[in-house]
Amino acid sequence: MNKPLTPAEAALRDAAREYHRNPKPGKIAVTPLKPLSNQLDLSLAYSPGVAYPCLDIQADPSKAAEFTSRGNLVGVVTNGTAVLGLGDIGPLAGKPVMEGKGCLFKKFAGIDVFDIELAERDPDKLVDIIASLEPTLGGINLEDIKAPECFYIERKLRERMNIPVFHDDQHGTAIISAAALLNGLELVGKQIGDVKVAVSGAGAAALACLDVMVALGVKPAHVFACDSKGLIYHGRAGGFDESKARYAQPDTGARTLADVVKGADVFLGCSAPGVLTGEMVKTMAAKPVILALANPEPEIRPEDAKAARPDCIIATGRSDYPNQVNNVLCFPYIFRGALDCGASKITEEMKLACVHEIAALAKAETSAEVAAAYAGKDLQFGPDYIIPTPFDPRLIMRIAPAVARAAFESGVASRPISDMAAYRASLERFVYQTGMVMRPVYAAAKAVAPQAKRVAYAEGEDERVLRAAQVVLDDGIATPILIGRPAVIEQRIAKAGLRMRLGQDVECVNPEDDRRFRQYWEAYHGLMSRDGVTVDAAKAAVRRSTTIIAALMVHLGDADAMLCGTLGRFDQHLEHVRDIIGVEPGAPGYATLNALMLPDRTLFVTDTYVNEDPSAELLTAIAKMAADEVSNFGLPPRLAFVSHSNFGSSHRPSALKVRRARDLFRDRHPGIMCDGEMHGDSALSATLRERAVADSTLQGEANLLVCPNLDAANILFNVLKITIGSGVTIGPILLGTAAPAHVLTTSSTVRRVINMTALAVAEAQARRR
């Protein structure tokens, strides 16, 4: 840890410190689930009302799942003795990792977490402390506890506790690597009971991987495991830990990893960087499957393995290569299923159910919604896709029900799930009500070739834009084009500690000196000459307005999409876009749509920035454009035409207009669910709607609010934006343009610029099809 940092590593260090420090220290918090705004609320939340659920739980402990958060609460527990690649850094220093784990539980599966860092190294005392927390927690995720103590601690806790206990470092890696093995062997045509497995590493993760693989059919006699002292074999001088004994082989003279790799069908690495060489890979059996899981640097890089053996299939722990073995594929969802059925343990059957679902998902036919959301992403089963992407939204909907069913069949489910279809539907609602809805858009953008995702940023000198450009460049989301003065941009890149280089990593268009100046002003003059723009005015406009330059780049094919608006007036930017890019054929004009990823739902609002007081006809057309855009996120649109009137409670002109728009929409687009006119709270509550009308044509919650005018939509969006705090917002999404062009606002954050970049790239690719 003391070697000098590269500029990239130093930038990452500084960004990580800032991320953890601001706007508030840490990554997780406790948020009340119930209102506490008056005396009645106080009497229900605490004394005297709280006494009643207390007595109910005393009489029937299973009621704790009904009256408390215990059924959705996991403790992420560590003593800091084996933290990531940092080693024994202690419990306090490991706290950021545990908080990070809590974020993943919450984000991917909606599970609440208490991170618990214990200053205790004695295994028996640790067991006593953790076991005493059973009344508080619904499950235990053991994290970053060194081997071999972790085996003993988990075994003792499983014996003593009646809640799920799961050591993710062992079992998470084991489950995903086993899924990769099943699919890899299927592709190369080998039977799992016939393969020879060479193993580098014999710690917690490696042994757990082997246990699951053996449960799937690998024969222990075919497993040759090496630790830091070489092959584990009977009679080895100095012996070996008891936990490794089950994989000890007879002494045949083999001693090293190179010895056992010869003729192996499978390599499993949970050890150290570079221990598997290309020469060693050449000695493996035909079509070898290589699981090189050391992180962040694998036992062998995929390009080196492929160079040595082009017929190999390889998976690593890295996100920048195909087939990433990432524990987030597993742990949120196995706990989700276990908690929801009240499992007292995580059994081997539950783990194997998880393995089979992950493996099956890589081979599953993609639904129409997911295919649309992942447009351009190759999700076809093959050597570079043997396990799903970590952000596949289908994971929770496949794994959690399978785990819950296995728990029931294992006899450990205290609350068996009787209606699996309804359970899957609830999981689907969770996926589409969180910021995960944006992840398929990122996947689609990343799949586009670099030369086809050139995004022109009109405000290339803005620090928010520069930071966003660095992220989209690093993540492969887009190929940025920065419009601005090179000297200013370079100065601000340096000040911000960014790494991109003008002319090498990103293109820079200098408004004051660009070889295409003549081409651009001539094109602008050709478009605007009959609107009073002279040759001199065209030259001046192209020199003066970076938005005009960005729009001309898209118009002339020098860019695939554009973003503007982080500085200046929205209407001014919109005018330039309209003049140069124009309106899509068949569109009624422009409109805007904003999305908010609220804590419990994803909500779209239109028209937030363009049409001041649209007629019923125009409002209908805007609603259709917005519904189509919602569909592009892989979401079925459910529209509410909102008003101050609730199903005829007012006959003012604005209420009648909204009612008329709803009627027109129903007539023209009967396949899209909608209703109105209605209050905003009715749009989000079927119960409130049912009190007003018995025949609502909207089921469940609306996810698209069509507002009567610009003021209503804009105010609603901006108020919600403030109330969600750190939530995700997207937009404004400009609808009706002839090419991908979006006008942001001066309040746009770096994250919003990144989101809109991904959206623009995905949109550009969709238009090509």
Active site residues: 46, 101
Write the CB contacts of 455 (distance below 8 Å, at least 6 apart in sequence): 472, 478, 479, 480, 481, 559, 560, 561, 562, 563, 757, 760, 761
Return the bridge partners of 165, or none: 140
The token pair that represents 332 in the structure block: 């949120």
Amino acid symbol at 377? K
The token pair that represents 69 in the structure block: 């958060």
Please give the Cα distance from 296 to 303 (Å, whole number): 16
Cα dihedral sign, 26-28-29-35:
positive
The token pair that represents 674 in the structure block: 């909608």
Please give the Cα distance from 81 to 582 (Å, whole number): 61
The token pair that represents 641 in the structure block: 């035409």
Write the CB contacts of 321 (distance below 8 Å, at least 6 apart in sequence): 302, 314
The token pair that represents 609 in the structure block: 């920035």
Write the CB contacts of 173 (distance below 8 Å, at least 6 apart in sequence): 205, 208, 209, 270, 293, 325, 327
Catalogue the long-range contacts made by 148-152 (C-beta closer than 8 Å, 24 or more residues apart). 148/204, 148/241, 148/242, 148/243, 149/81, 149/123, 150/82, 150/204, 151/204, 151/207, 151/243, 152/123
626-to-107, 593, 738 alpha-carbon distances in Å: 27, 6, 16
Q: Which of 105, 100, 104 is nearest to 138 (CA)?
A: 105
309-to-283, 287, 303 alpha-carbon distances in Å: 9, 8, 10
DSSP 687-706: HHHHHH-SS-S--S--SEEE
**Helical (H) or strand (E) element with 589:** none
Q: Which of 495, 710, 731 is nearest to 603 (CA)?
A: 731
